[in-house]
Chain A
Amino acid sequence: MFLVPAFVIYVAVIVIPILYSLFISMHDWNGVGEMKFLGLGNYIQLFTADEVFQKSLVNTIIWVLLTIVVTTSISLLFAVMLNKKFAGRTLFRGLLYFPCVIAPIAVSIIWRWMYDPNIGFFNWFFDAIGLSYRQTWISDPKVSLYALFVAAIWQMIGQPMILFLAGLQTIPGEIQEAAFIDGANSIQQFFRITIPMLKETFVMVLATLIVNAINVYDIICGLTNGGPNNATQVLSTYMYTQTFQYNHVGTGTAVACVMLLISLVVIVPYVSFSARDE
């Protein structure tokens, strides 16, 4: 009975679009006009013949791995530091969370300026500290994906951080105190006590981070839109391009279904595994 309201809304907003997408993804369709049934044709085409799709799949996987390793550890580190009692704690928490609240359109403008080789921050900074190192950042296909990832961390670290912070509240205060004061012991304690006690938080953080990483769109669209030459193309930008730019709605929707499928494949075993051992 408690589930009914959620279920009703969920079906209307989520389940219908999913069924619709599965249906569309099996057709050749330009958005209007006639649909031609292809079965799994779109999927086969994507995986066997579409180099851009494969490139974006690889980029998405890199992005997910980076997110799991880098974003999770940095946000946990920040949360642990900011969970300690000290003057100015609220200020620092607010500061690190602040980028989250900025409208995405401004985030891409900001990082466009940070990375601009002529008027931007990084190259100016290298000049200022006397390094002659120059870099075109997001224009360099070898660097651009990672440069975007740095911008993404800056922007979204606050979200997992506050989840960890909330999670840390469930750990009795004495244990945390001990974990910080006791020098060499603290690291051990952190891994032996804090992390196991954050198990539920980890499920939440990793699940949201992974899903968000698979669907990453705003920051890439705003900064490089998949360029240069598809170097930062990810599944979501490619889906968008296929659907809205090329009018290959069937192909684009198939990409969306692949994204959904990847999320399921990663999340379902993880969640059911962590749900079982109670």
Chain B
Amino acid sequence: MSGKTKKYGKKAVLYLILILIGIIWIVPVLAVVATSLKSKQDFFSGLSLFELPDQIAWSNFVNAMTKGRLFMYMKNDLLVSVIKVPLGIFVESLAAFALTRTNIRHKTGIFIFFLIGMMLPMQVALVPINVIFNKINWINTFHGLIFVYIGFGISIGILILRGFMRGIPRELDEAARIDGCTKWQLYYKIIMPITKPAVATLIITDFLSTWNEYLLASVIINDTYKKTVPVGLMTFVGEHGTDYGYLCAGVLICVIPVLIVYLVFQRYFVEGISGAVKS
């Protein structure tokens, strides 16, 4: 009896803390939502940034989609992300597999070599990439952008996948070998399915960073019709002042695809790895 009340009490405390944190986390977002619903007059009327206007201006959303061409930017970005993320994860998982499940030498050394990529400030890569891409005509191409994104994603992908693959018991390899599995079969039949939570995590983070990447996209793509979302959003920013209602509406629209990806893949955190190992 007392154990049960204690349990409920704990749960109440947990909820209380979470609700408090939730409020802190949501307040800043409210400013964006409120602004996206304000007409220009309301925005400049001195109304608090966190207050909703009397008259809700949906026109910001309509403008962002039509005049702002958000739909086109999102289509481009989606195309890039949908190719980049699986391709990148495939390449990274192969490498992570090699670093945890094969007998190559200098594993730690190779691993660290691959980590350097995420330490490199992207800005210094702009000029060399621009030079090479101009030589091979990859400027303004999606495959060029995808290629660079895969390159910059390799480090974090290998880091995350290697970490999870190391956690998979060695006995599984043994068992697989006895069953007559080749290395390839070990990779796609056993290791990859077990690594699902890590792959899900990686899909979320990778999709997100691809979706929101500005710097490289702004240099590689200068054709208006091929711009990705963050570069496209910057065209909402004016030289002498920004239309915030319009921008905030645009930002909120662009969040949707990432949220969907998040919602689809987050459920894999629930399925424990332990269950997968047992079966």
Per the CB under 8 Å rule, do A and B touch in the complex? yes
User: Residues of A at under 8 Å CB distance from B?
Assistant: 1-3, 5-7, 9-10, 12-14, 16-18, 20-21, 24, 78, 81-82, 84, 86, 90, 92-106, 109-111, 113-114, 119-121, 124, 154, 159, 162-163, 165-166, 168-173, 180-181, 183, 200-201, 203-204, 207-208, 211, 214-215, 217, 236, 239-240, 243-244, 253, 256, 259-260, 263-264, 267-268, 271-272, 275-276, 278
- Give the CA-CA distance A198 to B183 in the complex, in Å: 27
With a cutoff of 8 Å between Cβ atoms, the chain B residues found around residue A217 in the complex are 121
Chain B CB within 10 Å — which of A106, A172, A215 has the most? A106
B64 interface residue per 8 A CB criterion:
no
Taking the closest CB of chain B, its distance from the CB of A26, in whole angstroms, is 14
Which residue of A has the minimal Cβ distance to B251? A106
Contact A104 B214 (CB under 8 A): yes
Chain A interface mostly:
helix
Residues of chain B whose beta carbon lies under 8 Å from any beta carbon of chain A? 6-7, 10-11, 14-15, 17-18, 21-22, 24-29, 31-32, 48-50, 91-92, 94-95, 97-99, 102, 104, 107-108, 110-112, 114-121, 123-125, 127-129, 132, 147-148, 150-152, 154-156, 158-160, 163-164, 166-167, 183, 187, 197-198, 200-201, 204-205, 208, 211-212, 214, 229-230, 233-234, 237, 244, 247-248, 251, 254-255, 258-259, 262-263, 266-267, 269-274
Contact with A260, one of B92, B95, B121, B127 (Cβ below 8 angstroms): B121
Task: Give the number of residue pairs across the A-B interface with Cβ within 8 Å.
Answer: 262
Whether B150 contacts A9 by the Cβ 8 Å rule is yes
Main secondary structure of the interface of B (DSSP, over half): helix
Min CB gap B84→A, angstroms: 11
Q: Within 8 Å CB of A3, what residues of B?
A: 94-95, 98-99, 104, 110
Q: Which residue of A lies closest to B149 (CB)?
A: A13
Q: Which residues of A contact B151 (CB under 8 A)?
A: 9-10, 12-14
Which residues does chain A contribute within 8 Å of B187, judged by CB atoms?
2
- Is the Cβ of A6 less than 8 Å from the Cβ of B118? no
Most buried by A among B48, B163, B167: B163
Question: A156 CA to B181 CA in the complex, in Å?
Answer: 41
- Given A92-B22, A163-B160, A263-B119; A110-B258 close (CB under 8 Å): no
Residues of chain B with a CB closer than 8 A to A114's CB: 27-28, 31
A180 to B28, CA, bound (A): 31
Q: Nearest residue in B to A244 (C-beta to C-beta)?
A: B123
Q: A120 vs B31: C-alpha distance in the bound complex, in angstroms? A: 10
Residues of A within 8 A of B17 (CB): 81
Instruction: Enumerate 6 A-B pairs (CB-CB under 8 Å) in ascending A order.
Output: A166-B201, A200-B163, A239-B124, A263-B119, A271-B115, A278-B166
When A10-B117, A16-B132 are in contact, do A204 and B163 touch as well, CB less than 8 Å? yes
- Shortest CB-to-CB span from A20 to chain B, Å, is 5
**A267 contact set on B, CB distance < 8 A:** 112, 115, 119
Contact of A2 among B95, B116, B123, B262 (CB under 8 A): B95
Tell me whether B119 and A169 are in contact (CB under 8 A).
Answer: no
Given contact pairs A106-B247, A166-B164, A166-B198, enumerate 14 new A-B contacts (beta carbons under 8 Å): A3-B98, A3-B99, A3-B104, A6-B91, A81-B14, A84-B14, A90-B267, A103-B229, A154-B28, A162-B269, A168-B269, A181-B7, A211-B118, A239-B124
User: Which residue from chain B places its CB closest to the CB of A119 in the assembled complex?
Assistant: B49
| List of B residues within 8 angstroms of A172 by Cβ | 272, 274
Contacting pair A101 B262 (CB below 8 A)? yes
- Of all chain A residues, which has the CB nearest B7? A181
Contact of A103 among B166, B200, B233 (CB under 8 A): B233
Closest Cβ of chain B: how far from A11's Cβ, in Å? 9
Q: Which residue of A lies closest to B27 (CB)?
A: A121
Task: Give every chain A residue within 8 A of B120 (Cβ-Cβ).
Answer: 14, 17-18, 21, 256, 260
Please measure, in the bound complex, the distance between the C-alpha atom of A121 and the C-alpha atom of B28, giving whole angstroms: 9
Residue of A17, A154, A275 near B128 (CB, 8 A) is A17
**Knowing A16-B132, A169-B269 touch, does A256 contact B123 (C-beta < 8 A)?**
yes
Among all A-B residue pairs, the 10 with the closest Cβ atoms: A13-B151, A263-B119, A2-B98, A17-B125, A6-B95, A101-B258, A106-B251, A200-B163, A14-B117, A2-B94
**List of A residues within 8 angstroms of B115 by Cβ:** 207, 267, 271
Contacts of A92 in B (CB 8 A): 18, 21-22
